[in-house]
Chain A
Amino acid sequence: MDPSTSQTPSPPTAVVEPRFLDAVETLPRPQLRALQEQRLLRMLRYAYERSALLRNNWQAAGVRPDDIRSIDDFKRLAPFTDKDQIRAFRDEHDDPFGGLLCIPPEEISFIASSSGTTGDPTLFTWRWGSSDGMDPQCPGIEAGTSNFWPNTPRDLWQMGVRAGDYVVLLANRIRGPVFRVLERLGTIPILLSYHPDDTHAFVEMSRRYRPAVLFTASNPFIYQLELLERDHGVDMREVFTSYKAVMFAGEPMGPRNRRLLEGWGLIGRIYNQTAFGDIAVAHECREHEGMHAHEDFALVELVDPQTGALIEGDGVGELCVTSLINDVDPLIRYRSGDMIRLTTEPCACGRSSARFWTVGRSGDEVVVDGRTVLPMDVWAAVENVDDTSAGLFQVIRTGRHMPALRMRVGYGGTPDLAAVQAQLVESVQRAVGLIAEIELVPYSELLKIGPRNKIPRTAKQ
């Protein structure tokens, strides 16, 4: 496909219909809490009987499901779990599911997994409903909900996606057949990959089918589009004319990429997607004021990452989640390692669920000269330098405390490296007040490290 040709003269412009919400999305918070409590108590009894890890942890803590009659009891008594515990259980018991699986293995339909940048990947196990492979079975609660991605149809619907719309899915197969979820909405998925060759196909398919959604763009993908625009004269405004939503995932979108996409006519149509504590993914709504944590699916808590103490009310802390509907591999009081800012203030969109902003991974911060630096803190500093504007970089982290801020930064083209280095040092110093040691490598070297849609933001060397 040649992306510079075959333009249609007047592409259809996206028309975003009024939003609609499920009744449960607007439940007043006291009623939402009552629903959570009812589901939580049922889930605890269900999972205690079936999940070996949960039983193990709770017996060690001397707690039984019968001891818990309310969310308050749960917060007071239930032991936490985390990825390390799951891995330890997996290794000790030679159980690939880490003691989480609540159904007989032969009932599994398929297993997806996380990117696995920090050890063996986390598994997401699905049981699918009907045998024709079209229809997901609800995990014990309501028909038509999958045990992973349960809120994705709801969120896409709010973005304005409707049956009959085409949805470009840039898919990593490892994350599971998300296209099946899209088909439940009556949309027609267009399957592409993050491979650079598929960037051309993306342009061609956008012109041919005029899709409503891109699910999901990433920093490297946007960089490839920028190259097409610059080197092949592709009019990206025209390519994106029909899009009601461009979803963005993998990592936070830097300010420069946001400006770029907005320049392509996507103001108000960029929707961030982020992990929701390994039990689902979360998305922004049309207000773009944080990711909605759909609390009818999950109980959300905030934890002090250092002390493990519960943080009451809104604030910043480690996201801790309990699945309320997943009957396959539910996570109960799972400390995600994601640092978030949480608010339960009502959203202007009308939903009553809490919203959050990811601040970083609790394992990503480095402390240099008493200053705490997360990759997000230096992101804009890297993007602001022309030759490193794709924002592809890593912070070197051999431990939490580092003698100096060390970074590996990707550059495009063949710039004067000494000059780029000097600009970066200055830019990073302005951002975090530290003089960074910077290693420059071509973009292509950094892109080899990850699964094409993102690169690990910290590196041990």
Chain B
Amino acid sequence: MIPTNHATPLKAPAGAPWIVGVAHFACGTLPYPLSRRDIERDSAWAVTVYERLGLQAGQMIHLIGDGAEEVSWWPFENAAMRLHIPWIQAESGAFDTSRTDMVIRRFKLQAILGLSTPVLDALLALGRDPRQFFGGLRAVVAAPAAARKLAALSVPAWTLLQIGPVFAFEPPAGGGARYDESEWRVDAIDGELALSSVNARAAPFAKLRSGLRGRVEIVDSERRVFLE
């Protein structure tokens, strides 16, 4: 018998690629490798996002995203585990609306992150009353169009901006979206948001245009992103 060693994998060096995803920019789709170090830093920032959202340990959240966005969501999953916040996930396409519907009906959630516009539209088409459906939550974090729709229906929602693979969060009251400035810099170039990495990441990006129209302002000595 030859002893197996699949239980003792190599530990990759901290800066080596640990996972590879894709990032979508105006110029097309680029490989987006992440190192363990990247993930650890991104996870630490995600913890601060949850704290800002007021999330509590031991209460369920619902994460909605696409399989290919896992590299962007991974830090938020790690942060949830670090804070002992259980999560249940669904896809962001309209075809998966019944899953999100089930999750909201059956679980006592404290927050939903990543609510997409197609899923929100499909929930509204099912006749769900948005104020009742989302009313008891600490936070709803939605794609820009979905957040605007919810606001018009008197449901305050955070806006989730996706600038390439990077998430930025704007509170319901507005004031611009925050992102992790220790890792990234967002600039507006000719009115288009562009992304650069500022730390030694596995995937260095330099002023990659996102395809999103917007501007950057300094608020409380932080760079905040405003969509236009």
Q: A residues within 8 Å of B by Cβ?
A: 1, 18, 20-23, 26, 90, 96, 105-106, 108-113, 116, 120-121, 123, 128, 131-133, 143-144, 153-154, 156-157, 163-164, 166, 170-174, 176-177, 179, 183-195, 197-198, 200-201, 204-205, 208-209, 448-452
Contacts and interface: CB of A to CB of B under 8 A. Distances in A.
A111 B86 contact: yes
Nearest to B64: A173
A128 to B, nearest CB: 6
22 contacts: A20-B2, A106-B58, A106-B59, A109-B81, A110-B77, A111-B87, A113-B88, A116-B99, A120-B106, A132-B40, A132-B78, A143-B7, A170-B67, A171-B67, A173-B70, A187-B9, A191-B21, A191-B68, A192-B67, A208-B31, A451-B96, A452-B95
Given A26-B1, A195-B68, A205-B31, 14 more contacts: A105-B58, A110-B80, A112-B88, A133-B74, A157-B4, A163-B10, A164-B10, A177-B74, A177-B77, A186-B12, A201-B29, A448-B95, A450-B95, A452-B95
Interface residues of B, dominant DSSP: mixed
A191 B78 CA distance: 17
A116 B67 contact: no
B167 interface: no
Given A121-B102, A154-B6, A448-B95, A110 B87 contact: yes
Given A110-B77, A173-B91, A183-B18, A20 B70 contact: no
B11 to A, nearest CB: 8
Nearest to B75: A133
Contacts of A22: 4, 6
Interface in B68-107: 68-71, 73-74, 77-78, 80-82, 84, 86-91, 93, 95-96, 98-99, 102, 106-107
Interface residues on B, range: 35 or more
A96 B106 contact: yes
B82 A131 contact: yes
B154 to A, nearest CB: 28
B173 to A, nearest CB: 30
Contacts of B88: 110-113, 123
Contact of B20 (A111, A153, A184, A190): A190
A209 B22 CA distance: 13
Contacts of B210: none
Contacts of B18: 183, 188
